Amino acid sequence: MALKQYLQFKLSQKLSPQQIQLMKLIQLPTQAFEQRLKQELEENPALDTGKEETNEDNFDEFDNTSDDINDNDTIDTDDINIDEYLSDDEIPEYRTQTNNYSADDDEKSVPYAAGTSFTQHLINQLNTFRLSDQEEEIAYFLVGSVDESGYIRRSLSDITDDLAFTQNVYTTEEEVEKVLQIVHQLDPAGVAARNLQECLSIQLHRKEQNPDVELAIAIIDKAFEQFTKKHYKKLMKKFNINEEQLKDAIEEIERLNPKPGGSYAGNNKIVEHIVPDFAIKIVDGELELTLNGRNAPELHVSREYNNMLKGYKDSKEKSKAQKDAVMFIKQKLDAAKWFIEAVRQRQQTLFVTMSSIMNYQKDYFLTGDERKLRPMILKDIADEIEMDVSTISRVANSKYVDTPYGTKLIKEFFSESMTNDQGEEVSTREIKKILETVIEEENKKKPLTDEALSKILKEKGYPIARRTVAKYREQLDIPVARLRKEL
């Protein structure tokens, strides 16, 4: 087979390292962006925030004692231009700038006390029981198997096997069951249960007994499935009781805690605080958008690095050490310039995108009425500001905006559309809001089925099929009619 040469024209698109860096910065929320900024400042000494004055008098010149090199080996530093980041004025540029964001507005981290863990809390209670050495090891293992909700999610056979293989404790399921009954006596009530039925039963047996509690115990122990499915008529027939007695027993059950582990005060969990990336205010009937100042840091190239380059240019004899140092400086300066430009483009992209979203949903931001949300998809905003859909997605997926009606995730403003009976395009968010309102106002003794909800929406001008109503109901985390029934 003969070898042949031929030309081929090919069009391909590749992202530069700078573009990749910009895309990564755009998708970061405020707190993650601050961490990325801090990391870049630590890694690149040529990057400066401008919050500290530089002392030029303490600048050390390059060491000229190293071996001289030929003039032909010198580096052309004329292409390293940092004037756009540095000013020749004696007063630093950051001193002449205004910024509505103050350091006093920083979100301060809240210290959390190092309390006793949930597991240790249970172990401390076990020490008050008189147990044999083997029972104690089994009890400790069972406590260690309790999850943060307070349940043991594993079967006794698996626990028995693990005790043999990992703890060298050979026992039987009967003995593990016996020790488990002891663990069930620990606080909070219901801890170490294997399922919801057992958890509720443990809590009811610990309560002061009265007719209502006894009936509740019977319902949980003997008719749990009928209770969960709200077959109230079957329950009244099974236990030969009236509706009022059943209602009192259900009230006892509703007072119980289905997740006993979550009630332990020693579970010190750091709550995630949301830092809005934007703020929208209504000023004289008009919307005003601002970008969080923490997304707009004041960055410039270090003045000290500029002095290093000047020192190299002014020196008559160039040494090998100077050459290596200037090469290092050039790399750091380029990286600093790229990063500053990426941050600037990030600010511009965020502001332009959110401004377009705000104007598109102007009626909602002025009133707060979700029924006035217009149908909007990523492509609508992308076409308006002439950016790629992927860029809009990066902005919307992880950013929050502070509005007069609360802090909202930006992607919540996007929704599909459907046509009402008048031929108008309406947002599915509007339909979901109406559906939610109808369900809230229904008679809980006879909740509306999906078919009935579909008919009501059609009467309101939204021709939606029953299966679509079911889909929207599930998206709103609303159970079926049978599970919404109340006495």
pLDDT at 17: 65
pLDDT at 58: 36
Q: Could you write out the three-class secondary structure of the chain?
A: CCCCCCCCCCCCCCCCHHHHHHHHHHCCCHHHHHHHHHHHHHHCCCEECCCCCCCHHHCCCCCCCCCECCHHHCCCCCCCCCCCCCCCCCCCHHHHCCCCCCHHHCCCCCCCCCCCCHHHHHHHHHCCCCCCHHHHHHHHHHHHCECCCCEECCCHHHHHHHHHHHCCCCCCHHHHHHHHHHHCCCCCCCCCECCHHHHHHHHHHHCCCCHHHHHHHHHHHHCHHHHHCCCHHHHHHHHCCCHHHHHHHHHHHHCCCCCHHHHCCCCCCCCCCCCCCEEEEEECCEEEEEECHHHCCCCEECHHHHHHHHHHHHCCCCEHHHHHHHHHHHHHHHHHHHHHHHHHHHHHHHHHHHHHHHHHCHHHHHHCCHHHCCCECHHHHHHHHCCCHHHHHHHHHHCEEEECCEEEEHHHHCECEEECCCCCEEEHHHHHHHHHHHHHCCCCCCCCCHHHHHHHHHHCCCCCCHHHHHHHHHHCCCCCHHHHCCC
Cα within 13 Å of Cα(91), Cβ side: 5
Tens of pLDDT, residue by residue, the chain (487 residues)? 567 777 777 665 555 666 677 777 787 877 788 888 888 888 877 777 755 444 443 333 333 333 343 433 444 444 444 344 344 444 444 444 444 445 444 444 444 444 567 788 888 888 888 888 888 888 888 888 888 888 888 888 888 888 888 888 888 888 888 988 888 888 888 888 888 888 888 888 888 888 888 888 888 888 888 888 888 888 888 888 888 888 888 888 888 888 888 766 554 444 457 788 889 999 888 989 988 877 677 777 777 776 776 666 666 666 677 777 777 777 777 787 888 888 888 888 889 999 999 998 888 888 888 778 888 888 888 888 888 888 888 888 878 888 988 888 888 888 766 666 666 666 677 778 888 888 888 887 788 888 888 888 888 877 888 888 888 888 788 888 777 777 6
Q: How far apart are CA 455 and CA 472, in angstroms?
A: 15
- The domains found in the chain, sorted by start residue, are 17-52+75-87+271-414 (no CATH), 118-263 (no CATH), 420-484 (1.10.10.60)
pLDDT at 246: 86
Task: Give tens-digit pLDDT for 398-419.
Answer: 788 889 888 888 888 887 666 6
389 close to 379: Cβ distance less than 8 angstroms: yes
Task: Give tens-digit pLDDT for 106-128.
Answer: 444 444 444 567 788 888 888 88
pTM given for the model: 0.52
